[in-house]
């Protein structure tokens, strides 16, 4: 296996500094809500009105607590186990002409059976 000399050099330097050659994990940004805030979000906010739209939940939360974006709010809700609610669409009934066409189609296919 042939590696580029700069790759080997970087690996050796990192192993000398950290003791291992594997790069360390990136820390990233600090979470906006701590564990206590997340418990409050579930206990007080979401359990009282679980079917309220997310915009309303976010507005109520930001009025009394830390201001967070909608994306952060959705992420915390997903981590907690909540998802957005969307009512099922109403499926219209068949019209008389559609019923007749469906019946004709079925009658044509009767011979397909055993």
Tens-digit pLDDT profile for residues 37-81 = 888 887 777 788 877 888 888 888 888 888 989 898 888 888 877
Residue 28 CA: distances (Å) to CA of 31, 51, 53, 75, 97: 9, 33, 30, 16, 61
Q: Is the pLDDT of residue 85 over 70?
A: no
Whole-angstrom distance, CA of residue 59 vs CA of residue 2: 57
Whole-angstrom distance, CA of residue 109 vs CA of residue 111: 5
Q: DSSP for 60-112? A: HHHHHS----HHHHHHHHHHHT-----PPPPPPPPPHHHHHHHHHHHHHTGGG
pLDDT at res. 84 = 66
pTM equals 0.49
Q: Which letter, b or e, does each residue of 58-85 get, where b requires 16 or more Cβ atoms within 10 Å of its Cβ?
A: beebeeeeeebeeeebbebbeeeebeee
* pLDDT band (50, 70, 90) for residue 104: very high
CB 65, CB 38: distance < 8 Å: no
Query: For 16-22, what is the mean pLDDT?
Result: 67
* pLDDT band (50, 70, 90) for residue 105: very high
């Amino acid at each position: 296996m042939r590696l580029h000399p700069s790759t080997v050099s970087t690996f050796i330097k990192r192993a000398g500094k950290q003791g291992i050659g594997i790069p360390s994990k990136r820390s990233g940004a600090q979470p906006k809500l701590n564990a206590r805030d997340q418990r409050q979000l579930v206990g007080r906010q979401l359990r009282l009105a679980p079917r309220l739209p997310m915009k309303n939940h976010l507005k109520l939360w930001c009025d009394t607590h830390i201001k967070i974006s909608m994306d952060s709010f959705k992420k915390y809700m997903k981590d907690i186990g909540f998802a957005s609610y969307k009512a099922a669409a109403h499926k219209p009934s068949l019209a008389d002409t559609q019923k007749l066409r469906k019946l004709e189609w079925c009658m044509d296919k009767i011979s397909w059976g055993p």
